[in-house]
Structure 1
Amino acid sequence: MSEAQVREAGSMAIERIGAGSEGVPLAERFDAVRRRSLQLVAPLSAEDMVVQSMTDASPAKWHLAHTTWFFETFLLQPSLAGYDPFDPSFGYLFNSYYETVGARHPRPARGMLTRPSVDRVFAYRDHVDAAMRDLIDARTAGHAELRALVELGLHHEEQHQELLLTDLLHAFSCNPTDPAYLDTALPVAEGGPQGDGGWADFEGGIVRVGHDGNGFAFDCEGPLHEVLLRPFQLARRPVSNAQWRAFMEDGGYRRPEFWLSDGWARAQEEGWQAPLYWRDEGQGEWSALTLRGRGPVDPSAPVAHVSYYEADAFARWAGARLPTEAEWEHAAQHATRSASRGRAAEGNTLGSGALQPRAVGSAAEGPLQQMFGDVWEWTQTAYAAYPGFRPATGAVGEYNGKFMCNQMTLRGGSCVTPDDHVRPSYRNFFYPHQRWQVMGLRLAGDA
């Protein structure tokens, strides 16, 4: 089977949606994003959509309702005269963390919301979508601030599309029957690259990082600013499953000399012996649960579902380190300029339909491979404000800024990240112990 056939086999036809700044009419983009959320839940039963497997996750039904609540709360109620809220109780049920908006249902108990029904949530979406189309048609032309808020709501929904899938995978992992979101497995590519791919060298110096203001970006991606980098190296590829197996077989999970103190304590407390969703099948064979069900671990694919603590321990074991956030972004800018099609969104992201990390093709070009898509890549940089950062006024100012504490940044997007989120400046952030997102790593070193 050819590489192209491997990538095509079993793919889910997921709509690729361009950013509004690329000329897509706002109303058309609104419909496309909202339609894709419904497409993603189409394979699910009503039972699938109400379960909450842990505090960090939310039911699929809640994601559908919360993203709708965002448009109703921040756009329709303040901006559309005569708008009639669908159900006043939904403001309490589907607020996430916006303290200035009001009280909310406790996050750990979202899975207890058997009512409203899934059908009523669909009706809620229809109600809000109709009003939003009226608002977009009547008010957004020539109103830059309102258009920007609609765009924020769309990117917010795309973030929840990614969370919906990763939350669902965690829920399925709690089921001993290993259910699949899609029951067509992607075959393991034959003859994929087995080595680490070598290193790319960067001279360092004073470089500019952060979003340049062209097109959409979340507030935490700016302002654009200068940083000083020492010469460094970055691995050409993410760490693979085969490399991770070597770490495991060398006692990586049993050797405290590689681990941060908090990481070692967490690994012992939770009994970590392998990446999340891996299972020892005996005779030296491992399987992994993905959205396509359980199957053999592909040795050439990037390792996924590892915490910051695990990534840092692996880097120490390998005699390397994790890149800083600025190093990663500088290298990603270089990779984007060097790409044959020059688009940061090229990669195995949601629109590819693979829904799991894939091995790099043997024909892959450029000094850096798989910088975008496949797996989020941990950096060694804590999530914090850039120089000059100021959160927006009002409730939407709570979107990112208040989380700038105790979390670590990741870069590059994953196989379930919407395509137009993948850009060099995009910053993701999670706590160092978390593993349920599609998280991997790329090694770095001093040149």
Structure 2
Amino acid sequence: MKDVSEPILLVEYSRVRANTQAMVERLDCEDMVIQTMPDVSPTKWHLAHTSWFWETFLLLEELEGYREYSCEYNYLFNSYYDAIGERHPRNQRGFLSRPGLADVLGYRRHVDEAMTRLLSSLEGEPLERLEPLLRLGLAHEEQHQELILTDIKHVLSHNPFAPQAFPETGRGAASDEAGASWIGFDGGLFAFGVEGLPFQFDNEGPRHEALLTPFALADRPVTNGEYAAFINDGGYRTPSLWLSDGWARVNAEGWQAPLYWHERDGAWRQFTLHGEAAPQPDAPVAHLSFYEAAAYAEWAGARLPSEREWELAAQRGAGPDGRFAMPGWSAHPDVCEPGSGLRQMFGGVWEWTRSDYAPYPRYRPAAGAVGEYNGKFMSGQYVLRGGSCATSQGHIRPTYRNFFPPQARWQFSGLRLAKDI
């Protein structure tokens, strides 16, 4: 008898791959080949790279008789795995007119057919041995689904006519709340991280203890309206609010507002995946760098939480979630639903923390090339928590550690205030 988890993995694989394909159906071929900055990859590259991951780490190793689709693709679509070999420069992915989109889609079909054969044949010890890698591949593709959304937003934002990538699928009613409330947490020695899940990223463990002093978190993220008040009060013109590197970045790059905001006729407008619109005052502010989040917290007389404060609070006091990536691929932060507890800890914006992205005690990266997935980036970056409106809902959990360099703004990144008590 075959292991009962075998069809589940095949179903999961098919679902995730179909979701990736559904995301790009409304995009034109020309949309999918543009690279507007080094952090952005063309949609076509994401479609190829996610197939390369399955081919490189599973099919070439595990499926007898598998035929590599193209000997050139290992160079073109390797992202950062030095153990695999040389690769095309990241900042030149938009230079690749070939292979064309039709070839990349053919590559995806080739890989899907082979993965179906592999998953249909696995049982017993081979299935048990490969399941962690299979689940890593599923999580990897869901991460690239989010990147497709954030990257195509950056691409389309450069079009002077603010084209709509996806239709708006509804938005919550405006809130009449006057401000955020504070929810307090006692200090003490607590356990953090996770071990023993069916799947977890290596950077989520090992589970360990750490001491926290009493603190409080705001019950919701900072909103567009609150951030506009910071701007109007001269926040981008007041050096005492900023970390030194952040103030240098403000002046070097001319920051005056979150990414995608601009003034027109005396009012703020923002570019969204659904076209241009006025920022909804009660929706979470998005597309902030760590520097902007920290400056706002200083202006507000508060601070950013540590990642362990955030994790403890999410485990104990979470209220209603926000909006995740949805059918039709709507992606825009929604207002917080009424409720008790910490609202929109998940599904609004990624929330910057004050914690450096560093290994937990006793952390060791996985053996082999997959060990490069997280560990090699544990320098010069900050942790974000929570998951955004562009994240797949089943992909995140309280222990998930996202990370970006402090100047990054193109993700749906915002903040929640913290303070000592």
- Structure 2 counterpart of 1:149: 133
Query: 332, 338, 356: which is aligned to 2:332?
Result: 356
Q: Please give the per-residue CA displacement for 1:260-301, whole angstroms capped at 9, x wherever unaligned.
A: 000000011111110000011123x21111110110110000
Alignment of 1:301-340 (within 5 A): 301-336=283-318
Alignment of 1:176-195 (within 5 A): 176-184=160-168, 186=170, 189-195=172-178
Q: Please give the per-residue CA displacement for 1:160-192, whole angstroms capped at 9, x wherever unaligned.
A: 0000110000011111111110144756x5541
Quote how far apart the aligned CAs of 1:22 are.
10
Distance verdict in 2 for CA 1:385–1:40, change over 3 Å: same
Report whether the alignment pairs 1:347 with 2:322. Answer: yes
- Structure 2 counterpart of 1:8: none
SS at match of 2:269: strand
Counterpart CA distance in 2 for 1:54 and 1:105 is 15
SS at match of 2:277: strand
Distance verdict in 2 for CA 1:312–1:79, change over 3 Å: same
Counterpart CA distance in 2 for 1:46 and 1:269 is 34
- Structure 2 counterpart of 1:370: 344
Alignment of 1:71-110 (within 5 A): 71-110=54-93
Q: Give the letter aligned to residue 357 of structure 2.
A: Y
SS at match of 2:138: helix
Distance verdict in 2 for CA 1:77–1:174, change over 3 Å: same
Kindly indicate whether the alpha-carbon contact (under 8 Å) linking 2:6 and 2:120 is maintained by their aligned counterparts in 1: no
- Structure 1 counterpart of 2:119: 136
SS at match of 1:125: helix
Kindly indicate whether the alpha-carbon contact (under 8 Å) linking 1:185 and 1:293 is maintained by their aligned counterparts in 2: no
Report whether the alignment pairs 1:170 with 2:154. Answer: yes
Report whether the alignment pairs 1:36 with 2:19. Answer: yes
Structure 2 unmatched runs, 5+: none
Q: Please give the per-residue CA displacement for 1:367-411, whole angstroms capped at 9, x wherever unaligned.
A: 210000110000000000000111010000000000000000000
Alignment of 1:2-401 (within 5 A): 25-142=8-125, 143-184=127-168, 186=170, 189-283=172-266, 285-336=267-318, 346-351=321-326, 353-361=329-337, 364-401=338-375
SS at match of 1:351: coil
Quote how far apart the aligned CAs of 1:354 are.
3.6
Quote how far apart the aligned CAs of 1:215 are.
2.8
> Percent identity among equivalent residues?
51
Q: Give the letter aligned to residue 180 of structure 1.
A: Q
Q: Give the letter aligned to residue 307 of structure 1.
A: S
Counterpart CA distance in 2 for 1:206 and 1:365 is 29
SS at match of 2:323: coil
SS at match of 2:237: coil
Q: Please give the per-residue CA displacement for 1:87-119, whole angstroms capped at 9, x wherever unaligned.
A: 111111100000010111111110111111111
Moved more, 55-64 or 195-204: 195-204
Quote how far apart the aligned CAs of 1:23 are.
10
- TM-score, normalised to structure 1, is 0.90
Quote how far apart the aligned CAs of 1:348 are.
1.0
Distance verdict in 2 for CA 1:22–1:72, change over 3 Å: closer
Q: Please give the per-residue CA displacement for 1:115-152, whole angstroms capped at 9, x wherever unaligned.
A: 11111111101111111111111125443221111111
- Structure 2 counterpart of 1:430: 404
Counterpart CA distance in 1 for 2:323 and 2:132 is 28
Q: Give the letter aligned to residue 335 of structure 2.
A: A
SS at match of 1:145: helix
Distance verdict in 2 for CA 1:418–1:24, change over 3 Å: farther
SS at match of 2:81: coil
Counterpart CA distance in 1 for 2:91 and 2:173 is 43
Kindly indicate whether the alpha-carbon contact (under 8 Å) linking 1:140 and 1:146 is maintained by their aligned counterparts in 2: no
- Structure 2 counterpart of 1:15: none
Aligned residues: 416
Counterpart CA distance in 1 for 2:79 and 2:91 is 11
Counterpart CA distance in 1 for 2:8 and 2:167 is 35
Moved more, 29-38 or 191-200: 191-200
Q: Please give the per-residue CA displacement for 1:31-50, whole angstroms capped at 9, x wherever unaligned.
A: 00000000000000100011
Distance verdict in 2 for CA 1:193–1:49, change over 3 Å: same
Kindly indicate whether the alpha-carbon contact (under 8 Å) linking 2:174 and 2:335 is maintained by their aligned counterparts in 1: no
Kindly indicate whether the alpha-carbon contact (under 8 Å) linking 1:200 and 1:236 is maintained by their aligned counterparts in 2: yes
Counterpart CA distance in 1 for 2:262 and 2:167 is 19
Structure 1 unmatched runs, 5+: 1-20, 341-345
- TM-score, normalised to structure 2, is 0.96
Kindly indicate whether the alpha-carbon contact (under 8 Å) linking 1:193 and 1:360 is maintained by their aligned counterparts in 2: no
Counterpart CA distance in 2 for 1:302 and 1:172 is 22
